[in-house]
Amino acid sequence: MDMLIGYGGIALFFGLIVFVLERTKRKEVSFSDYATGGRSFGSIFSTMAFVNTWFPGTIFISFAGLAAGAGVIGFYVLHYSLLAVVVMFFLAKPVHVWGKKFDIRTQADLLGLRYNSKPVRVIAALIGIVATVPWIILGMQSLGLVFRYLSFGSVGAAAAIVIGVIVISARQIWTIKFGMRGIVISDMVQGIFAYILGTFAILGLLVWLVTNGHGFAQVDPAHFHLPGPTSELGGLYFFAIVLTGALGGWCWPDIFVRLFSAKNTKTIKQSAVQAAPLLLIFGSSLLLLSLLASSYPGVKDAPDDVWFIVSGVGGVLMVTFAGICVLAATMGNIGANLQALGTQAANDVIGVGRAKRLDDPKSAKIVVGALTVISALGALALKNVSGGLVVLALVSYQGIVQLAPTLFFGIFWRRGNAVSATASMLTGFATACVLQWFYPVSIPWLGGLTSGVAALVVNALVYVICAFAIRQPLAEQDRVKQLFDHLRESPAADESAHRPLAESSVGSERN
């Protein structure tokens, strides 16, 4: 009976998402509309779409488990999340103005425009795809914990992963059909369950813990210390992981594309303001719950299970709701990843290869479907060996942040060129992979810096040196000047329809 309630709750939630999507479906008329949702969403939808992508289902598992098992270092997710929202505020105008004016569909598409380079566009797209696929597979596998707990002992770990992969793969049917518009709309429903109703549940559990002998006094004193200069991790380790998260967050294709789905710059800035308190309240509540629950029976032996273990005090219905929260957050993250990667592969790899600007979303739908199948098969094949995949995913995170100099210098500095972008991305990615192999956690002789941050220094130096050493032709200098001049135009330009590419020399080299 308990299993029927647990799995029945998941089925009802799944049905609710499908019902909402089918009621709001709209025939996509172009590739751009499929990729960006028509650049039509207001601040509330944009805010929830950002949060539902930013906090994946593993926020309830790995991040919560870090706070339960290691203490306050787990709160680093709040630091980098709030810094990322500040970055979002400053990215709003250039990304949206260029996106709307030149029909930009993806992050790689934007970099191709900025540097007037097909290689830059393809390299950025491939780095995004290679770095993200392991995280999609891990996200699918994480649902195994949901279906194991909601079976209340009736389903084993391996079988639970199989069920989770099947469920999340079936959900992608609607991702393929509706593209970004469907992602954003479903994010609203999923976000309400995971982060709003979830916060109320967390606060209730916090009260229960404090009133039942699990307050701060019962937490291991070691949990209140961050790594210092004499620690094994190094004094700069905490700084490094926060910096990597804040900069790397906007390098992920699924996060960046959120800037294209909003209807104007003002909407994006409003979303940044709205997202900050939501991230802070939900995130701090969940991490505080995990920290206090470190003294709860069973949590020390399985810290990643802390969310489900503590939810057990509320009985079957509470555990079921805990599972729905994880599923809701996972749906948002995996759906956004697959949609973004499929669109990017079609737009910036296949499209460039064909030397043709794609107008029909059919190719993107095919690629999204193919990536879903590949990820599902990968998750099933690796269901018993996720440890190695976790290492690969960590390498991926240190690698994806190597897009940061090309991205941020390109958006906020006119000097960079295609050579500096290409050289810095390749050098940074290769350096990060090598350092990660030898120093998987931190680099002792660099005071605890991670491989990603160390490679980021090399990356940025290569970019700046090439930017000053290679003089751009006057025509290219004028093109870049025109591109940045658009940002100084009247606010009305922000609301206007995009200009066809053929009418502007700024985008003359783009497919």
Domain 2-20+44-496: give its CATH code. 1.10.4160.10
Distance CA 334, CA 275 (A): 20
Q: Does 248 score more than 70 pLDDT?
A: yes
Q: Give me the residue spans of the domains in the chain.
A: 2-20+44-496
Query: Does residue 442 contact residue 234 with C-beta atoms inside 8 Å?
Result: yes
User: In angstroms, how far is CA 218 from the centroid of its own chain?
Assistant: 34
Report pLDDT digits (tens) over 113-144: 999 999 999 999 999 998 888 888 888 888 88
User: In angstroms, how far is CA 245 from the centroid of its own chain?
Assistant: 10
Give the residue from 329, 304, 247 showing the smallest Cα distance to 79.
Answer: 247
Report pLDDT digits (tens) over 442-495: 999 999 999 999 999 999 999 999 999 998 899 999 999 999 998 886 454 454
User: In angstroms, how far is CA 263 from the centroid of its own chain?
Assistant: 21
pLDDT on residue 493: 43
CA distances from 331 to 146, 175, 325, 439 (A): 13, 10, 10, 33
pLDDT on residue 497: 43
DSSP 344-403: HHIIIIIHHHHT-----THHHHHHHHHHHHHHHHHHHHTTT-HHHHHHHHHHHHHHHGGG
Q: Does 151 score more than 80 pLDDT?
A: yes
Q: Does 500 score more than 60 pLDDT?
A: no
Report pLDDT digits (tens) over 270-308: 999 999 999 999 999 999 999 999 999 999 999 989 999
**Mean pLDDT, rounded, for 169-179:** 90
Report pLDDT digits (tens) over 348-386: 999 998 888 888 888 889 999 999 999 888 888 877 655
**Mean pLDDT, rounded, for 71-76:** 93
pLDDT on residue 116: 94
Place 204 in a pLDDT band, splitting at 50, 70 and 90. very high
Place 502 in a pLDDT band, splitting at 50, 70 and 90. very low
pLDDT on residue 267: 92
Q: Does 395 score more than 90 pLDDT?
A: no
Task: Calculate ∠ Cα 93-99-105, nearest 5°.
Answer: 140
Classified as helix, coil or strand, 104 is coil
φ, ψ of residue 151 in degrees (nearest 5): -85, -10
Give the residue from 319, 500, 400, 427 showing the smallest Cα distance to 125.
Answer: 400
φ, ψ of residue 56 in degrees (nearest 5): -75, 180
What is the average pLDDT value for the chain, to the nearest integer? 89
